[in-house]
Structure 1
Amino acid sequence: MRLYPEQIAKQIKAGLAPCYFVYGDEPLLKQEALDELRQAARAQGFDERHKFDADEGLDWDAIFDASQSLSLFSSRQIIELTLPDKLDRTASDRLKELLGQCHQDLLLLISGPRLNQQQQKTAWYKALAAAGPVVPVFTPDARQLARWLEQRLGRHGLAAEPDALHWLTLAFEGNLLAAAGEIEKLALLELPQPLTLATLQQQVQPHYHFNPFQLIDPLLQGKVKRGCRILLQLRQEGVEAGMLCHLLAKELNTLHGLQAALATGQSFPQAAGSLQIWSSRQPLMQSALSRLPAPKLSALSTLLAAADAAVAEFDDDTAWRWLYALCVGFFDEKPPIILP
């Protein structure tokens, strides 16, 4: 059963499941989900806790010893296990064996990184999903972030005017941990309510953060202003231009492949299926193709080749200039700007 973080409180009222798997790339939401489960478990007598972390190496024998031992001071225990990015065959088999030992006095709290669709088809993931709720935690997009910030402010007795709330979403996009800390500070200041834009700009230091993968979707959607903002922030955060060239090359190659398949008379679903494009990404690709004809895609590939050549020559400034021109070029079918 899939369970989202905001649904945990309702689910545990009906009783704790024997196992929970919390996974994703948002550290604050992951930590709070695990804390909520720990608190519920303590309230139900799970007083003993053993923690095992993949970063320190997984000693499966020690995990099994802990799961089978009983303390003199507690008859109920929690086994916490942090999984690595990948599980080999042995680890997968041992995990499935551990899941088979679940009982009412043993709670397994398992956490892991963000998983792609292929990983969610593995035997070990399916075993986790069968043993108890799986709880994905993802960084909210701009629309979801506004709702999250509004709820977070309300939790601390605060409210914000619409323009102030919009500013907060820009100031903390991709960094919920910093947003939570700033909101706690605001609650201590006893400021007039609702919070105004001027008040927030005076009291709050922006801490937004992006990862390279967040650059792709705005470009496919034609949201060039947002894409360029992300690109400039990625450079400021020290992301390598070569890494972005690799990601963008993959997307452009996919668009070229789709366009070639459509030219042969295939339908879009057929073309997307043959290229193994996830169903969730197909609308983005279709939107981009409707805006970017073949000559424009070829021109964008030329810009990318220029950026890649600058990377090979260790000319970082020129590489970033070409990448910026490439991002702008995703806006419409007009020929892109060629840098001097």
Structure 2
Amino acid sequence: MRLYPEQLGKHLQAGLAPCYFIYGDDPLLKQEALDELRRAARALGFDERHKFDADDGLDWDAIFDASQTLSLFSNRQIIELSLPDKLDKTGSDRLRELLGQCHTDLLLLVSGPRLNQQQQKTAWYKALAAAGPVVPVFTPDARHLARWLEQRLHRHHLAAEPDALHWLALAFEGNLLAAAGEIEKLALLNLPQPLTLADLQQHVQPHYHFNPFQLLDPLLQGKIRRGCRILLQLRQEGVEAGMLCHLLAKELTTLQSLQAALASGQSFHQAATALQVWSNRQPLMQAALNRLGTAKLAALTRLLAAADAAVAAFDDDSAWRWLQALCVAFLDDQPPTILP
């Protein structure tokens, strides 16, 4: 069963499963999901808690000892297990063995990083999904962030006018932890409701954050202003131009390979599957191909090559200028750039 964080409360009203797997890249949502599960467990008499973190090295023998030993002071216990980015064969085997020991007096809370499609096909992931609910915790993207913020404000008995809510979404995109902190501060100020744009700009300090992968989708969609905004923020956050060149090169290579496959008579689905394009990104890639022709892709590739050459020459300023030119060149009506 797949549950999202906002569904946990209703799910727990029906009782506690023996195992939960919380995975994803958002620290706030992950922590809050774990806290909600701990509270529900304590209310049912799970008073003893053992925590094992991959950062400290997983001692599987110690984990099994804890799972098989009941305290004199508690008949029910929680085993919390934080998985590493990659689980080796030994870890996979021991985890599946541990899952086989789940019972009504033992609650297993497993947490982990964001998983790709291949990891979700592994034996250990399938065993976790069979043992209990999996709870993905991902930072809401730009389309869903305003709704999340509105719900968060409502939790603190606050409301915001539409333009204020839009500004708040821009101010905290990619950083729910900072957004939650600022909303808690707003709740203490006892400001008139609903909050106005002027209220937020006076009392809130923006803390948006982007990761390099978030640059790709706006460019494929032709949302150039957003792409340039993300690019500027990535530079301010210290992301290396070379990393962006690598990601963009991979994306452009995939687009050109898809284009060649379509020209040879393959269906888009066949080509995308062969190139291991995630199913949720296939519509985006197909739409991008419909608006980016062969000449445009060739021009984008030349701009990227110029950026990459600047990185190789340690000319950071030039590299970022080329990257900005590349972003602008994704515009539908932007003619292919001719390099000297």
Smaller-chain TM-score range? over 0.9
Q: Which residue of 2 aligns with 1:79?
A: 79
1:339 to partner: Cα distance = 7.4
- Displacement of 1:188 in angstroms is 0.4
Once the two structures are superposed, the pairs formed by residues 236-315 of structure 1 within 5 Å of their partners are 236-315=236-315
Corresponding residue number in structure 2 for 1:48: 48
User: Any conservation in 1 of the 2:22–2:110 contact (CA below 8 Å)?
Assistant: yes
- TM-score, with normalisation over the residues of structure 2? 0.98
Q: 1:190-229 alignment to 2 at 5 Å?
A: 190-229=190-229
> In the alignment, what sits opposite 1:39?
39
Q: Are the aligned partners of 2:292 and 2:332 in contact in 1 as well (CA < 8 Å)?
A: yes
Alignment of 1:128-147 (within 5 A): 128-147=128-147
Cα deviation 1:36-66 (Å, max 9, x = unaligned): 0000000000000000000000000000000
Question: How does 1:52-63 map onto structure 2 within 5 Å?
Answer: 52-63=52-63
Query: Which residue does the alignment assign to 1:120?
Result: 120
Q: Deviations over 1:255-290 (max 9, x none)?
A: 100111111122222222222222211111111111
Offset at residue 142 of structure 1 (A): 1.5
For residue 186 of structure 1, report the CA deviation from its aligned partner.
0.4
| Per-residue deviation, 1:336 | 4.0
What corresponds to 1:15 in structure 2? 15
Q: Which amino acid aligns with 1:290?
A: N
Residues 283-327 of structure 1: CA distance to partner in whole angstroms, max 9, x if unpaired? Answer: 111111111100110000000000000000000000000000001
Secondary structure of the 1:20 match is strand
What are structure 2's unaligned runs of at least 5 residues? none
Structural mapping, 1:153-172, within 5 Å? 153-172=153-172
Distance 1:191 1:334 in 2: 46
User: How far apart, in 1, do the equivalents of 2:222 and 2:334 lie?
Assistant: 13
| Kept after mapping to 1: 8 A contact 2:295/2:336 | no
Residue 191 of structure 2 aligns to a residue whose secondary structure is: coil
What's the TM-score once normalised by structure 1's chain length? Answer: 0.98
Q: What is the Cα-based RMSD across aligned positions, in Å?
A: 1.0
SS at match of 1:230: helix
Q: 1:338 & 1:246 partners in 2: Cα distance?
A: 22
Unaligned runs of 5+ in 1: none
- Contact 1:296-1:333 within 8 A present in 2 as well: no
